[in-house]
Chains A and B, each alone.
Chain A
Amino acid sequence: MALLNEDHSRFKTFSRRAALLGGGKALLFGALAARLYYLQVVEADKYATLAEDNRISLRLLPPPRGRILDRFGQPLAANEQNYKVVLVAEQAKDVERTLDRLAQIIELGAGERARIMTEVRKKRAFVPVTVREYLDWATVSRIEVNAPDLPGISIDVGQTRAYPFGPEMAHVLGYVAAVSESELKAAEDPLLELPGFKIGKNGLEKEYDEKLRGSAGTSTIEVNAVGRTIRELKREEGTPGKDLVLSLDQQLQTYVQQRLSGEKSASVVLLDIATGGVLAMGSVPSFDPNLFNLGISASHWRKLRNDPLHPLINKATAGLYNPGSTYKMMVALAALKAGIDPAETVYCPGHYDLGNARFHCWKNYGHGEMDMHAAIKESCDVYFYDLSRRVGIEKIAAMSRRFALGDKTGIDLPGERGGTIPTKAWKRAQIGEPWQGGETLVSAIGQGFVLTSPLQLAVMTARLASGRAVVPHFRRDLQPRADDGPRAQAVDAAQQVAETRGGPGPGTPAPEPMFAALDIPGADFALIRDAMDAVVNEPGGTAYSKRITRDGWHMAGKTGTSQVRRITMAERRQGVIDNEDLPWRRRDHGLYVAYAPVNAPRYAVAVVVEHGGGGSKSAAPIGRDVLAEAQRLDPLANDSPEQVADAPPIRRG
């Protein structure tokens, strides 16, 4: 009984305490449930977002870069497959051993190995590390064959820019290279932040970079805690870069560059007069743009930069020269506009006196009586000294401007330079001195302050030949890629383009001229063209020996010589030294401008041979050959000029 009573009171205490315990436990469980409610209902959105952030990762898909094609669809810049060896550390159980084995196939220097090992350690085990890029096919096959002995090694295919014509197109196409720090800061396109992404750094690659680049696609992927890709959730393909079709003709360009290869430093511009399209633009010496792609070595880069012949500069647009006698047409047109009679003659005794100064004609004993036609044909300096005195520098400059001289033509190629057409105001502003009368004389024969680029001279010639305000350009078309598969790019695109872009067939109405007519009387143009015809095709013309003899291919032109040194009185007394006897650096620049065919001009050319001696001897033969080649390659050489205004690409079709 005592036991029971005692136990009963103990039980009462126990029950009371148990009830308290139970209450406490219920309270704590309640707290857990409340916390769960807080996390899963109140804060659910916040954590759901965080969970998505954890799991979702966005990756950029670089679009294939658009190709650059010539007018017939020949690829000038394309994307090539770049085979590289990559190493995935987690698949290679022993990275060192795998590299040992790989070293038996490709040479691996100690430095290279150290770099690979550092990268392997730095990156997560499933991230591929690039061992070597730009493998040739033989090496690729040897690695593939030995794959079982090379755990973790695989071949990855990337894309790299390739310029099949190398140095022949370097100045026109430019090149692509890695994005620089400053470009990265200025850029809005996230593509530029992709490691290894390359953008156009020069030439057309730079000018049309954004169009060629296309826009990035995105791949939304699910990643796990260590960043490994689990699966792709969504994929939005980017837009591949557009193909850029040029007015350039690869065959002509190759020809021009080869024709120039005999010269130390020279340039040529060949224009389609009707469209202003650049058919060829040559500049020597050149460089291989493919080098920039693969990563040019510092020493090679220095060599290119410090080369006195400036291989990196496109002399056709960025080279500035005194136009020499090729400028005389401007002076003549300015005189005609001023009402001077072209039949009026000037006697040339071989020199012209202005005050105390004596200005020499290139021909020591003089040309005798000269009218305008004869003065252009024989390039008499004295006639133009006299003319310029009467017309004045301002009118000559105004006429020059109408022929696109002394200013950037606005061609779609970076790096163009403007040059100078001097006026009195210009000299006061730039040099701070008043204009001297003699400077008008010097300018009239394209010396002194007058500076033009070969491109400007070509445009001038095209305008003289057509009477229209021709503007030069490279771009013919930008078109979406027909196929962006890397293999398809290798396929000759000429067919595709030929099919999609049929030219105007026979019977198509003649297209409207593309450019406005210059407000210059036709009679004035006729006189100048006649004179330029005579320069080449009449005996006694300065380029008579360089004429094209084939019927219908005749060209008209004008030679020029740009003096680099000053000829002293002493030298004149003893006889001017022949160019051949001078060191190369002190020889004259040879210039030549021309168009062809004479009766229906389609091609305009400008040639500058640095230190080539007289224009007639050095530049004119090149101009002749280029114009002949252009006409030889012209698919519609025998058709009327109206029908070939925009040369249709059917030559190789």
Chain B
Amino acid sequence: MSLAGFNRNPELSLGQKFLQVNWGLILLIAILAAIGCVMLYSAADGSMQPWARRHAIRFAGGLVVLLIVAMFDVRFWFRWAYPIYLVGVLLLVAVEVLGEVVMGAQRWIQIGPLTLQPSEVMKVAIVLALARIFHGISEEEIVRPTKLIGPLVLVALPTVLVLKQPDLGTSLILIMVSGVLFFAAGVRLWKFGVVAALGTGAVPVAWQFLHDYQKQRVLTFLNPESDPLGAGYHILQSKIALGAGGIFGKGLLEGSQSHLNFLPEKQTDFIFTMLAEEFGLIGGVALLVLYAIVILYGFAIALRARNQFGRLLAIGLTANLFLYVFINIAMVMGLIPVVGVPLPLVSYGGSAMLAIMISFGLVISVYVHRDVRIPRRGLGEED
């Protein structure tokens, strides 16, 4: 067969796989995590405690997890996509039942010494599940609306559960990531138009179901200066910090807004503000460029993969990363309302770090197993 030339043997030994790992991407990730460490060091007024050190340790642990995930065959993840999704849904149900209430929202569950945030798990699981289901839907079938029922159910189930927590930000991210997958899978564009129209129509209805603090956040976003010492305080102070940073920034540990506590949550959600105050426009843009390169890597990997599952997985997880970065930075700059979304690899936080490292592990697994073919109707038939 002339195809033999295409069809190199995808079965690699562990050693070969290890060589195939995309070390350039891992280097970029490491640089981002290192920037995180520096900023956390600064956030603690020049101390490795309490954040920078643990951030580094978590990254190191996450790197091991990443490599392990990457070593597993993409077909393994294909098989386990639905079970993982199911576990994610069950965890969301569990959080509903025994979750701990933090800041008026149920988001965490305790498993032994681990504090787990099921919504973080879900952000990866939904990509796996959607990649899996769209993998099985052919080019011709995708125009049929009935074929979209399955994927829509897959999206709806976790979204409703996350909304119930209530966590508006995460549920929106779930919807947007799903949208990206629907789009990449080839769902016709007019259907997105219909959904968007329906969504817009639903806004006044949805508003009634929002919690007061969520309404407040939206209102504050619309006019942050209206109440500089109240709800708009954080965003205003964040903008002041950014603006005061100027082109070159004030220098490490010199950010007055950050170090005099005018900036809230500077180790988590507002870490970008601190970076841009201390390293200026140059630092801020440099970070954006780094993320852009990482995302570009994701696209390259997606386009290089020879199976639809891998492509969708890579594009979906990359979209996930993009959404995190965009939402976080747009929020601290006052472009969108305040939603509690961390900056991937830079913000302090265990669950988010783990989720992002697993995501990269999956992306690298797609790369390592880029030549593996998976039949449209699943692996069962081939066996």
A residues in contact (CB < 8 Å) with B: 3-4, 6-7, 9-11, 13-15, 17-18, 20-22, 25-26, 28-29, 31-33, 35-37, 39-41, 43-44, 46-48, 50-52, 54-55, 222-226, 230
Contacts and interface: CB of A to CB of B under 8 A. Distances in A.
B317 interface: no
A37 to B, nearest CB: 6
Interface string B130-150: 000000001100000000000
B184 A48 contact: no
B349 interface: no
A531 to B, nearest CB: 82
Contact of A48 (B244, B261, B292): B244
A47 B239 CA distance: 7
A17 B183 contact: yes
B184 A40 contact: no
A119 B186 CA distance: 67
A574 B264 CA distance: 99
Interface string B204-238: 00000000000000000000000000000000010
Interface stretch (B62-70, B74-82, B88-96, B295-303): B295-303
Contacts of B139: 6, 9-10, 13
**Closest 8 pairs (CB-CB, A-B):** A47-B243, A51-B244, A224-B260, A225-B261, A40-B281, A13-B186, A55-B256, A225-B262
Contacts of A52: 244, 256
Interface string B241-276: 111111100000000110011100000000000001
Nearest to A53: B240
A9 B375 CA distance: 15
Contacts of B280: 40
A525 B333 CA distance: 92
Contacts of B3: 4
B289 to A, nearest CB: 9
Given A3-B376, A14-B186, A36-B285, A55 B243 contact: no
Nearest to A7: B308
A21 B292 contact: no
Per DSSP, are chain B's interface residues mostly helix, strand or loop, or mixed?
helix
A44 B330 contact: no
B261 A18 contact: no
Given A21-B180, A26-B292, A55-B256, A226 B261 contact: yes
Interface in B315-339: 315, 319, 322, 326, 329-330, 333, 335
A48 B243 contact: yes
B183 A21 contact: yes
**Most interface-central of B180, B244, B373 (chain A CB within 10 A):** B244
B303 A54 contact: no
B186 A10 contact: yes
A36 B333 contact: yes
A40 B247 contact: yes
Interface size bucket, B side? 35 or more
A122 B16 CA distance: 69
Nearest to A42: B243
Given A40-B245, A40-B246, A51-B244, 20 more contacts: A6-B138, A7-B308, A13-B139, A21-B319, A25-B322, A28-B326, A29-B291, A31-B330, A32-B326, A32-B333, A33-B284, A35-B330, A35-B335, A36-B284, A40-B281, A41-B247, A43-B243, A44-B243, A223-B260, A225-B260
A283 B232 CA distance: 65
A39 B247 CA distance: 10
Contacts of B329: 32
Interface of B: 3, 138-139, 180, 183-186, 237, 239-247, 256-257, 260-262, 276, 280-281, 284-285, 288, 291-292, 295-296, 299, 302-303, 306-308, 311-312, 315, 319, 322, 326, 329-330, 333, 335, 373, 375-376
A606 to B, nearest CB: 65
A554 B138 CA distance: 134
A230 B245 CA distance: 20
B269 to A, nearest CB: 16
Given A32-B288, A32-B330, A32-B333, A37 B281 contact: yes
A221 to B, nearest CB: 11
Per DSSP, are chain A's interface residues mostly helix, strand or loop, or mixed?
helix
Contacts of B184: 14, 17-18, 21
A54 B242 CA distance: 14
A29 B243 contact: no
A10 B243 CA distance: 46
Contacts of A54: 237, 240, 256-257, 260, 262
Given A4-B3, A48-B246, A41 B281 contact: yes
**Most interface-central of A44, A47, A224 (chain B CB within 10 A):** A47
B224 to A, nearest CB: 13
12 contacts: A6-B138, A7-B373, A14-B302, A17-B184, A31-B330, A36-B242, A39-B239, A40-B243, A47-B244, A51-B257, A55-B256, A224-B260
Contacts of B333: 32, 35-36, 39
Contact of A41 (B237, B246, B257, B335): B246
Given A18-B299, A21-B183, A39-B333, A44 B285 contact: no
Contacts of A226: 261
Given A29-B326, A230-B260, A17 B186 contact: yes
A220 to B, nearest CB: 14
A50 B288 contact: no
Nearest to B7: A4
Contacts of A10: 138-139, 186, 308
**Most interface-central of B240, B280, B291 (chain A CB within 10 A):** B240
Given A39-B239, A223-B260, A29 B245 contact: no
Contacts of A230: 260
A50 B244 contact: yes
A41 to B, nearest CB: 6
Nearest to A28: B326
A51 B240 contact: yes
A25 B319 CA distance: 9
Nearest to B277: A51
Contacts of A15: 303
A46 B376 CA distance: 58
A14 B288 CA distance: 26
Nearest to B329: A32
Contacts of B322: 25, 28
Nearest to A51: B244
A207 B296 CA distance: 80
A410 to B, nearest CB: 55
Nearest to A25: B322
Contacts of A25: 295, 322, 326
A396 to B, nearest CB: 75
B47 to A, nearest CB: 17
A40 B242 contact: yes
Contacts of B376: 3, 6-7
A521 B240 CA distance: 83
B311 A14 contact: yes
A31 B334 CA distance: 12
Nearest to A45: B243
**Most interface-central of A25, A43, A55 (chain B CB within 10 A):** A25
A41 B281 CA distance: 8
Contact of A50 (B183, B240, B311, B312): B240
Contacts of B306: 7
Given A4-B3, A18-B315, A51-B241, A36 B326 contact: no
A3 B260 CA distance: 62
Contacts of B302: 14, 18
A230 B45 CA distance: 13
Contacts of B185: 14
A8 to B, nearest CB: 10
Contacts of A26: 292
A115 B337 CA distance: 43
B292 A51 contact: no
A223 to B, nearest CB: 7
A33 B288 contact: yes
**Most interface-central of B260, B284, B376 (chain A CB within 10 A):** B260
